[in-house]
Amino acid sequence: MLKLKEVYKTYKNGVNALYNVNLFIEQGEFVYIIGPTGSGKSTLIKLLDAEERPTKGLVEVAGIDIGKLRQGRIPYYRRHIGVVYQDYKLLPKKTVFENVMLALQIENMPLLPARTRVREVLELVGLSDKANSYPNQLSGGQQQRCVIARAIASKPKLLIADEPTGNLDFAKAKEIVKLLEKINLEEKTTLVIVTHDVDIVNTMRKRTIALEDGHIVADLKEGGYHSNV
């Protein structure tokens, strides 16, 4: 599903963000990527959602070589992956229903099946009763649920969550990770959660990959992480 082979990333300003990263994630896996600020987590996400190209090496998602992806194909590639951000990135002038619907409009899904799918994912994330609310009428946890609903609406093969619990207290963060776990099981979506929240990683144990200074320093299949991150 996700393959990184000898990946290096150096930015134009000379910053080396990733060194010789090798990683393989199977279809349907649930993986945490953990590391402190500046460890290369954000760069990894940028490579996965094709915002950046690797300087060297292979980044392959669902058989697509990101480095060779033509500019015009990037939007179509992005429809195969869902991204959940810490700062939500919801459109404030649109309701929850419209925000989720947007992903399907972009895909050009016919109106009726699109509406059905929106209701389905809102049900899944527990926001059916908030369909007509605007983002500013929702709590942080609810906004994150809405973003998750939007990210999975088009049934992506890969769901990347960038610090999805960053703005939430532990109880709410746990709820969100549980929801992501449910999506992983019910929708068979491969999940990559990028976080620096050690508590969550240690409470809800899954395969954990640790990044430090652009290197993978640990890949713990049994989960949990005890370093000073």
Partner 1 sequence: MYKITRHLKEAFYGLIRHGGMTFSSVLAVTITLTLMSFFLMISMNVRNISETVQGEIQIHVSISNLLDQQSITGLGDQIKIQEGVASISFSDKNNELDKFINSYGPEGSIFEMYRGVKNPLKNAFIVEIKEGADIKSITEQIRTFVGVDKADYGGENTVKLIKFMNGIRDVGLILVLILSSLAIFLIANTIKITIQARIDEISILRTLGATNSFIRAPMVLEGLAIGFIGSWVPILLTVSGYTWMYKSLDGFLVSELFVLRPVYPFVLQISYLLSILGVVVGLIGSFISVTRYLHVKR
Residue number, 68 or 93, with CB nearest to partner 1:
93
Q: List the interface residues with partner 1, window 125-164 (CB under 8 A).
A: 150, 154
CB contact at 8 A, 96 and 135: yes
Sign of CA dihedral 136, 138, 143, 146: negative
Considering only residues 10-49, where is the footprint of partner 1 by CB under 8 A? 49
Strands (E), the chain: 2-10, 16-25, 30-34, 56-61, 64-65, 81-84, 158-162, 190-195, 207-212, 215-220
What does residue 111 show for φ and ψ, rounded to 5 degrees? -55, -50
Q: Which is nearer to partner 1, 54 or 206 (CB)?
A: 54
Site string for partner 1, 157-196 (x = CB under 8 A): ----------------------------------------
Q: Minimum Å distance from CB 113 to partner 1?
A: 12
Query: Based on CB atoms, which residue is closest to partner 1, 156 or 214?
Result: 156
User: Does the footprint of partner 1 cover residue 50 (CB under 8 A)?
Assistant: yes
- List, edge to edge, every strand of the sheet that includes 207-212: 81-84, 158-162, 190-195, 30-34, 207-212, 215-220
Reference 166, options 146, 135, 184, 144; nearest CA is 144
Could you tell me how many residues of this chain bind partner 1 (CB under 8 A)?
27
Beta pairing partners, 10: 16
In this complex, which beta carbon is closest to partner 1, that of residue 14 or of residue 110? 110
Distance (Å, whole) CA 146 – CA 124? 10
**CA 202, CA 226: separation in Å to the nearest integer?**
8
**Which CB atom, from 75 or from 224, has the smaller least distance to partner 1?**
75
* Positions 57 through 116 that interact with partner 1 (CB under 8 A): 71, 74-79, 83, 85, 89-91, 93, 102-103, 105-108, 110-111
Would you tell me which residues interact with partner 1 (CB under 8 A)? Answer: 49-52, 71, 74-79, 83, 85, 89-91, 93, 102-103, 105-108, 110-111, 150, 154
